[in-house]
Structure 1
Amino acid sequence: SKVVSEALEAAIMVELFPRAQIDVFIEVLQADAGTRIAGLTAASVAVAAAGIPMRDMVVGCTAGKVGDKIVLDLSKEEDNFGQADLPVGILPKSDRVVLMQMDGDLSVEEFEQATSMIMKATKRIAQIQRDALTKKYETKEKEQGE
């Protein structure tokens, strides 16, 4: 989608590829809400694993309001019947927001609580992304050494 493309473009050093096109395809095998954010987060790892230079990886997380409570990572039912949905993509090194959309209504306090929860969660997700890439290259190094 356009928003995922723009979020990834903010992370990729596109200036190094002035006449190139980088295609990223996201195939959702099972949808239980959060597909845009999950796809964006996974695509960012895939781009990094492909060796494409990036400023940072994009990390996504969604908060929402369900039963007057702010929660993270809404299920399909919560997304469909909740009061608000706030998907956000950030570059964790700089905390730069590269994607933000909202359906529904949140008060200023609820919005601040949701974004605070998202920022904390994306820091943890960013570490998981880095660990996955580190493990991939450690495994390759061991295989080449044998």
Structure 2
Amino acid sequence: MATSRVEILNDGGLRQDARRPYELRSTSFQLSTHPSSDGSSTATQGLTTVVVSVFGPREPRNRSLASHDRAVVSVEVGVVPWAAGAGARRTRGDKRLQEIGAAIRQTFEPVIMTHLYPRSEIAIHVQVLSADGGILPTSINATTLALIDAGISLLDYVSSISIGLHLLQPLLDLSQPEESDLPSLVIASLPSSGKITLAQMETRLHVDRFEEMLTLGVEACKVLKEEMDGVVKDRTERIVERRSIKVGGQGTGQEGEMVIDD
């Protein structure tokens, strides 16, 4: 094996950003960040930030692709020019962005209940605002939340994580230097069942190492799902509370009793 170009783990067993091998980066999830869309979210994992907007179900822009018994899922991925770590300036036709878009579509087509939306299109627009590793898993996590925000029926949450291998030590949630230097795996799973909807390898891995990394990744996806679910529940509670206040504030008499006019 070639010598690593960067120090992946120091003598104390810590990574460059002071995380331990199984420690995830700091995460932040927000819903409804782009009101002009039907659903949207912003996900930040470490220094990687992705915004996803969902449009639909709507009439397909390309009617020749419409299906009479299900919705078609389309994905576009873009990177802003100033996204650090994203490499050279990329356009929508860039091969790497097309690969990310295809992976997102393949991840969600089995999870979205497309049969509920025949003859329609669900369009997913992904915009990478900053990049320091984990663009694909961050995009998948943001897409899950944007679809939920749009009210689109899913079989389950989809959560995603990257796993690398340094010598014999697996590392969770890779930064850009780790991603560039290590054999790695990106998985997306349905946390309730543990089913895998994506497993993407950039390099070959021994089957024993692959199974170890896969098991570790599935457990990490469960942790991310809990964080994502917490954001959804908090938002739902706020909506219910606002509606309760609005109803309670209309036509009330003494002691807050509802008044019904004859």
Q: TM-score, normalised by structure 2?
A: 0.53
Match status 1:104 vs 2:203: yes
- Write out the 4+ residue segments of structure 1 that deviate beyond 6 Å after TM superposition: none
Match status 1:128 vs 2:222: no
Unaligned runs of 5+ in 2: 1-100, 246-262
How do residues 90-101 of structure 1 correspond to structure 2 at under 5 angstroms?
90-101=189-200
Unaligned runs of 5+ in 1: none
**Identical pairs, percent:** 27
Alpha-carbon shift at residue 67 of structure 1 (Å) = 4.3
96-105 vs 20-29, which moves further: 96-105
Q: Distance in 2 between matches of 1:138 and 1:68?
A: 44
Q: Choose which of 110, 120, 123 in structure 2 pairs with 1:23.
A: 123
Aligned residue type for 2:122: I
> Alignment RMSD, CA only?
1.2
Q: Choose which of 65, 73, 89 in structure 1 pairs with 2:188.
A: 89
Aligned residue type for 1:69: Q
16-25 vs 59-68, which moves further: 59-68
Q: Distance in 2 between matches of 1:24 and 1:109?
A: 36
Greater length-normalized contact order (CA 8 Å, ≥ 6 residues apart): 1
Kindly indicate which of the two structures has a greater share of residues assigned to strand. Answer: 2
Report SS of the residue matched to 2:110. helix
Alpha-carbon shift at residue 138 of structure 1 (Å) = 0.2
Kindly indicate which of the two structures has a greater share of residues assigned to helix. Answer: 1
Report SS of the residue matched to 2:162. strand
- Partner residue in 1 for 2:103: 3
Match status 1:45 vs 2:142: no
Aligned residues: 145
